[in-house]
Amino acid sequence: MKTRLIITLLVFFYTLGLQAQERRIQEDGKTYQIHVVEKGETIFSLSKAYSVEQRELLNANPDLIFGLKTGQELKIPVAETEKKEAPQQQAVASAQPDELPSFKTYKVKRRDGLHFIAKDFNVTVEDILKYNPQLEGKGLERGQTLLIPDADDLKRIREAKREQRALVAEPQSVSGIQKHKVVGDETLYSISKKYNRPIADLVKANPQVKDGLRIGMELTIPEAELSSELLMRPADGFFTHLVESGETFWSLERKYNVARDELEKYNPALAHGLQAGLRIRVPVSTEVPDIQAEPVNEAAFNKHTVGGGETLYSLSNTYNVSIAAIKKSNPVLGYRGLMAGETVLIPKQTEVEPQLVTEEQREMATGEDDKIQQPRFNRNDFALQVSAMERPEGCQPNFSASAGKYNVALLLPLYLAANDTINQVRMTREEMLLDEDFMSRVSNPDELPDDTVVVRELETVYPRSENFIHFYEGVLLAVDSLQRAGMNLQLHVFDTNQEQAVVDSIVRLNVFQNMDLIIGPVYPELQGPVVSFANANRIPMVSPLSASGSFEDNSPYYFKINPTKDYLVRETADYVGEEYFNKNLIVLEMGEYKHLPEATLVNLCREKFFSAGFSEADRDVRFHEYNFLAEGYWGLRRILSKTRENVFIIPSATEAQVSVAVSNINSLSEDFPVTLVGLSNFQRYNSIQPEYFHHSNMHVLNPYFVDYRAPLTNRFVRNFRRNFAAEPNQFSFQGYDVAFYFMSALFQYGKDFTDCLPYHHVALNQSEFYFDKVSRGGGYMNRGLFILNYKKNFEVAVDGLEGIPSLLLTEE
C-alpha cells in the first residue's frame, strides 16, 4: 500500500510538471509558452531549443539582460516557434508523455553506494537519481528508502523513444561540396562534427580560418572521402566518464577542458550533483590535441577498432596488456576516454627486463667518469615520441643577458644565532694552557693574564639547521649553474629562525619589495605574511618542502612542491585500478582506519574494482576486505591464489601496524605471487627490514627518485663534494631542483613565467615537476610522481610516471 501511494504521488507530480511545461498565456495579442529555467540552461541553448532568435527572447523578457536564474519563468513566443517547426517535430511534441516504469523499493544499508545498488538491480545511477529527487545534492543515508525502476520496463520505454526519435532524424550528407555560414559561438571543432569532416580538411579548403573564425564567414565544406579512416572516426564526439568519490566539477573541467555548463547540458542527472558511480557523457574539447600516433614498428602493435561499450579495462584484459601501456601507445587517451569507432594501438607483449644498478655500480657512477653507467630512468621510455606541444608566442625561450637583474629571496630556518653560540667555547687561562691546539697558535703563553677568557671557533652544526643548510647548499649550486649560463641573478638569503616575528619583519624590509621570486618559508605556519605579500605584488612564491597547509586553495601565485596526502592516495588508487583490476585484491585491515585518509584509498579501489566488471566474469578475481586481527595469518592464506597475483593494500598510518602487515606479506611471498602497493611514508619506517619490501614486490608512488647513473646527478655529487667537503642528502638535491627549475623559468620566460610552466622541462636530480591549478582562483601543486618498484633482486626500478600528461613526456 505504501509503495502504491508513493508511485501515485510520483505520477501526480510528474503530470503536474508536464502541465506546467505546457502552460501558455496571452499578452498584447501574442501567445507565449511559459518555460521554467533549469540549472545549466543558457539564453543561447533556449533560443536553439525553441528555434527563436535571442533578440526575440530578450524583447519578450527584458529582465534577461541581468542573466538567467534557475526557476525563473520565461515567455517563449509560440507563433514564431510553430512556424519554424517541421511537421515531424510537431508530431513528436504532441506525442504522449513518457511512460512511467514500475518500481521496487530498497532500504539503504550502512556501506551502500549508488553504483553498487544500481548494479544489483541492473539499472544505472542516472535511473535511480531520476526517480529519487530527495537525493539531489546529498549522499545516501542509512535506512533511507529508494524507488528502483524496473530494468525491463526501462528497456522497453527506451526502445520506444529511440523509434520515435528515428522519425525526425535528419540524415547527414557525406558527399558533395556544401557551403556553411558561421553563426553564434561555432568553432572549427563543432563544424567538423556537424558535417563529419576532419578539421584538417576544413582548414585546407578554407585557408582564411587560420586567422580565426568570424560570424558570417562562409566556409566551403569539402567532399568527404569514404575511406576506412573516416568511417572509423567517432560518431558523436563523446566518451564516457565514471564519476568517482571526491571528484568535483573543477577537477573534471581541468582534466577534460570542458566547462561545467557543458557537462550539465549533456547530462541532466548532474543537476543532482556529482554522485559516485554516475556515468556521464563528456564532449571532446577542442583544446584536446588530435594526436595520431604513428608507430615506428607496426609489427609491434595490434590495431583495434573500439566498439560500443568497450573500455580501457576490457581492452587491457582482452589483450593482456596494462592500461598504462595502452595510454603510452595512444597519447590522446591521457586527455580523454575511449570513443566508439576510433582505432587504437595495442602494444604486443615483450619481455624486456630494464637494466638495474647495484650498490657497487652506484659508487662507480658517482666517480669521475659520467659514462660508466647509462641512466636507468628516461622519461621518454614511458611515452611515444609525438610532436612537441605548440608553444604560445609569449612562451618561446629567450635566454637574454640584457633582460636585467633578477632578485630571488630564499627564506630558511638556518638558526645562525644558535650556530654561533654552539660554536663558541669560553676557556680560562688554565684550560688554555692545557689545550695543545690553542697553545700552538699563541706566541708567548706567559703573557696571558690569570683572568683571560677567550672564544674558540668550532665546526659543529646546530642539529635543527643541518638539513636546511644542505638545502641552501643545493640552491647555491643551482645559482652557480645559471650564472655561468649568463643569468644576472642575485640571491637574497633570510634566516627565519622559525619565528613569526622574524618573518613579519623580513616582509617589511625595503629590499624585499624588489623580489621576482620567493622560495620559502618552509613551514606553512609561517607563510601567511609572505603569501599575502606575494598575492598583492603578483610574485611567484614556492613552498619547497611541506605537504601540509592549504594556501594553494586561494592564492594564485602559490606553488606547492610536495603533493598532499589526499592526492597521493587518489593517484595510488588510480594506479591500482588501472594495473590490478583483474587480480586478487586484498585490503589488509590491521585496525580501525575509517577516520584516516587511507580510507579514501580503500573506497576508491573498491569503486574501481567493481566498475571494471571483471569481478563477476572471472572466478579467480576477488576483492577482499580482510580483518587480520580477527582472522589471523592462516585465514589469510585461504583467500590467496596460487596462480593469480595477490595484490595487498594496507590502510594504516601507524608504523607498528604496517610493520606487522609487511612482515606477514613477506612470509606469504614464499608460497604465493604477491604485490604490495604501499604509500610513500612506508619507506621511512625504520622498523621494517628493507628486504621485506623487495620480497613483497612493493610498488609505491613517490615524488622523489635519485638516479645515480644520470650524468647530471654525477656532476652534482662531485660539485657538492668539491664545494662543501660533504656528501649531499635528499635536501641537497631538493634545494638544487627547486631553485634550478624556477630560476631557469625566470631566465627563459621573464617575470611572468607562470603560464609558461607547462612547456618548461629541465633535467633535475630527483623530481619530475608538473604544476597544475588546484582550484579556479587558487595556486598550483606539483603532480609528478614516480612509480617505484622494489624488485626481488633488491633493486629499486622506475616503472613509470603518474600525474604528468603524456605530451609533457616528449622531447622538444
568-578 confidence digits (pLDDT tens): 999 999 899 88
Q: What is the structure's pLDDT at 232?
A: 33
- Whole-angstrom CA distances from 394 to 104, 356, 390, 740, 767 are 60, 41, 12, 21, 26
Q: Which residue has the cell 580503500?
A: 602
Q: What is the pLDDT of residues 351-400, one digit of tens each?
A: 433 333 444 444 444 444 444 455 556 655 554 433 344 566 677 777 65
The pLDDT of residue 635 is above 70? yes
Q: Report d(CA 749, CA 113) in Å as an integer.
A: 48
Residue 208 sits in the same domain as residue 302: no
Q: What is the structure's pLDDT at 649?
A: 95
**Least confident among 54-68, 309-323, 648-662, 791-805:** 54-68
Of 201, 225, 249, the one marking the end of a domain is 225
The pLDDT of residue 287 is above 80? no
Task: Identify how many contiguous H helices and E strands the chain contains and give both numbers.
Answer: 30, 27
pLDDT band at 231 (very low <50, low <70, confident <90, very high): very low
Residue 664 sits in the same domain as residue 580: yes
Which position has the higher pLDDT, 683 or 317?
683
Q: What is the structure's pLDDT at 174?
A: 42
Q: Report d(CA 521, CA 409) in Å as an integer.
A: 10
**Which range in 88-102, 133-147, 282-296 is most confidently predicted, on average pLDDT?**
133-147
| In-domain check, residue 343 | yes
772-796: average pLDDT: 90
The CATH number covering residue 311 comes to: 3.10.350.10
Peptide bond into 521 cis (omega under 30): yes
Of 225, 245, 260, the one marking the end of a domain is 225
Residue 587 sits in the same domain as residue 690: yes
193-209: average pLDDT: 73
CA atoms within 13 A on the CB side of 429: 9
The CATH number covering residue 578 comes to: 3.40.50.2300
- The answer to whether 580 and 564 have CB atoms below 8 angstroms apart is no
Q: What is the CA radius of gyration of the chain?
A: 32
Closest by Cα among 570, 534, 571, 569 to 551: 534
Closest by Cα among 550, 553, 495 to 527: 550
Q: What is the structure's pLDDT at 372?
A: 42
- Which pTM value belongs to this model? 0.65
776-790: average pLDDT: 92
CA triple 788-679-628, angle to 5 deg: 125
Closest by Cα among 754, 378, 347 to 540: 754
Residue 582 sits in the same domain as residue 686: yes
Residue 216 sits in the same domain as residue 318: no
| In-domain check, residue 26 | yes
Q: What is the structure's pLDDT at 446?
A: 62
pLDDT band at 114 (very low <50, low <70, confident <90, very high): confident
Domain that holds residue 45: 21-85
Residue 569 sits in the same domain as residue 698: yes
Q: Report d(CA 733, CA 366) in Å as an integer.
A: 14
Q: What is the pLDDT of residues 728-759, one digit of tens each?
A: 999 999 999 999 999 999 998 888 888 888 88
- The answer to whether 144 and 108 have CB atoms below 8 angstroms apart is yes
Q: What is the structure's pLDDT at 172?
A: 43
Q: What is the structure's pLDDT at 506?
A: 94
**Which range in 16-30, 511-525, 704-718 is most confidently predicted, on average pLDDT?**
511-525
pLDDT band at 701 (very low <50, low <70, confident <90, very high): very high
Residue 694 sits in the same domain as residue 576: yes
* 344 Cβ neighbours under 8 A, 6+ residues apart: 303, 304, 306, 315, 326, 329, 330, 333, 338
CA triple 634-638-639, angle to 5 deg: 125
- Give the mean pLDDT of the chain: 76
Q: What is the pLDDT of residues 386-444, one digit of tens each?
A: 334 456 667 777 765 446 789 999 999 998 877 666 656 566 666 666 666 666 666 66
| In-domain check, residue 715 | no
Domain count, the chain: 4
pLDDT band at 14 (very low <50, low <70, confident <90, very high): very low
Helix (H, G, I), strand (E, B) or coil at 783: coil
| In-domain check, residue 657 | yes
| In-domain check, residue 543 | no
- Whole-angstrom CA distances from 774 to 112, 518, 720 are 30, 20, 35
Maximal C-alpha separation, the chain:
121
137-148: average pLDDT: 77
| In-domain check, residue 340 | yes
Q: What is the structure's pLDDT at 426?
A: 63
Torsion of CA 708, 713, 715, 719, to 10 degrees: -100
- The answer to whether 108 and 132 have CB atoms below 8 angstroms apart is no
Of 225, 244, 261, the one marking the end of a domain is 225
**Least confident among 7-11, 708-712, 735-739:** 7-11
140-168: average pLDDT: 74
Terminal Cα distance for the chain, rounded = 70
**Least confident among 112-126, 676-690, 780-794:** 112-126
The pLDDT of residue 543 is above 50? yes
The pLDDT of residue 15 is above 80? no
The pLDDT of residue 453 is above 80? no
Q: Report d(CA 376, CA 358) in Å as an integer.
A: 11
Q: Report d(CA 541, CA 560) in Å as an integer.
A: 9
The pLDDT of residue 725 is above 60? yes
- The answer to whether 448 and 432 have CB atoms below 8 angstroms apart is yes
| In-domain check, residue 354 | no
pLDDT band at 589 (very low <50, low <70, confident <90, very high): very high
| In-domain check, residue 106 | no
Q: Report d(CA 457, CA 394) in Å as an integer.
A: 52
